[in-house]
Structure 1
Amino acid sequence: MLLVDHRKAGLWLPTGGHVDPGADPVQTVRREVREELGIDAVFAAEPVAPSFVTVTETTERAEYRHTDVSLWFLLVGSGSQPLVPDMREFAAVRWWTPAEVRSADPARFEPHIRRFLAKVAQREPAHATD
Structure 2
Amino acid sequence: MNAADQVRAWIREEIASIHADDAEEARQLKAALAWVDSGAELCRRAKPDTPPEHLVSYFVVTDETAQALLLVDHKNAQLWLPPGGHVEPGEHPRETVRRELQEELGLALPHELGSPLMLSRSETVGLTAGHTDVSLWYWLRIPRQQALRHDPKEFHGLSWFGIDALPLARSDPHLGRFVRKLRATQPGPIKGRI
Secondary structure at the aligned position of 1:78 is classed as coil
Partners of 1:11 and 1:60 in 2: how far apart?
8
Aligned AA (1:78): P
Query: Is residue 36 of structure 1 aligned with residue 135 of structure 2?
Result: no
Partner of residue 57, structure 1: 123
Which fold has the larger relative contact order, with Cα–Cα distance below 8 Å and residues 6 or more apart in sequence? 1
Q: Write out per-residue CA displacement over residues 36-85 of structure 1, whole angstroms, 9 at most, x where no aligned residue.
A: 00001234x66x211110001123689x6221100010011025741111
**Structure 2 CA distance, aligned partners of 1:39 and 1:24?**
19
**Which of 132, 155, 158 is matched with 1:90 structurally?**
155
Aligned length in residues: 124
TM-score, normalised with respect to structure 1: 0.83
- Residues 11 and 109, structure 1, Cα contact 8 Å, conserved in 2: yes
In the alignment, which residue of structure 2 is the partner of 1:118? 180
What secondary structure sits across from 1:49 in the alignment? Answer: coil
* Contact 1:98/1:129 (8 A) holds in 2: yes
Q: Which runs of 5+ in 2 are unaligned?
A: 1-68
Give aligned-pair identity as a percent.
41
Q: Deviations over 1:6-29 (max 9, x none)?
A: 011000010010001221001110
For normalisation by structure 2, the TM-score amounts to 0.58
Q: Which runs of 4+ in 1 moved over 6 A?
A: none
The equivalent of 2:21 in structure 1 is none
Instruction: Point out the structure with the larger strand share.
Output: 2
What is the alpha-carbon distance in structure 1 between the residues aligned to residue 177 and residue 163 of structure 2? Answer: 11
Between 1:116-125 and 1:11-20, the stretch displaced more is 116-125
Of the structure 1 ranges 14-23 and 82-91, higher mean CA displacement relative to structure 2 is found in 82-91
Q: 2:169 aligns with which of 98, 107, 115?
A: 107
Q: Is contact 2:124–2:131 with CA below 8 Å preserved after alignment?
A: yes
